[in-house]
Amino acid sequence: MNKSKRYGVFLLLILLTVFWMIIASSISLTELIVGIFASLLIVLYSMDLVFSKSEMTSLTPRTVKALFILFIRLIIEIVISNFHVAKIVLSKKLPIDPGFESIRQPLKKDLNKTLYGNAITLTPGTLTVDMSDDEIIVHGLEKHSVKSLEGSKLEKSFMNLEGTKHD
């Protein structure tokens, strides 16, 4: 295992252990040992899925700020989409135009691509179906709303996280 893969494994182990401690009913030595053991089993089972350091965005003050802004933007987009989908569903005419649309994939790093696809799926009314290096196939309640993802604030937030230039 190369050095960058070990970094990813160690980071995942720490994150899973911290998550375990957050959801644990109490923090005792036994709970901590069980949490570390469970986290270790998960890491060993998913070793081939762990991202290497070159595939991830490095953790710097700039990326922490960009991640915070991205998180806020995602919450805003989820709330806006919730209201939009509720408006569609509660309308008597049910104005939907469901279908698949292909949008460009602006990101380069695998972890950021995965997070972007998951963010699209988290927003009500859209579902990431397939991804490749240069495009994402999304199913949406309205095709035109899927096309509006290209150049959206959410996309720009992900590009800022990656440090990619955008228009």
Residue 104 has pLDDT above 70, yes or no: yes
Tell me if the pTM is above 0.95. Answer: no
What distance in Å separates the CA atoms of residue 102 and residue 8, rounded to the nearest whole number? 31
In this structure, is residue 167 part of a structural domain? no
Pair (50, 66) in one structural domain: no
Pair (50, 89) in one structural domain: no
In this structure, is residue 125 part of a structural domain? yes
Residue pointed to by tokens 């095709």: 143
What is the mean pLDDT of the segment spanning 132-149?
Answer: 90
82: pLDDT confidence band, cut at 50, 70 and 90? very high
120: pLDDT confidence band, cut at 50, 70 and 90? very high
Q: What's the pLDDT at 147? A: 87
- Among 79, 93, 71, 70, smallest CA distance to 124 is for 79
Q: What's the pLDDT at 66? A: 87
What's the number of domains the chain is made of?
2
Percent of the chain exceeding pLDDT 90 equals 32
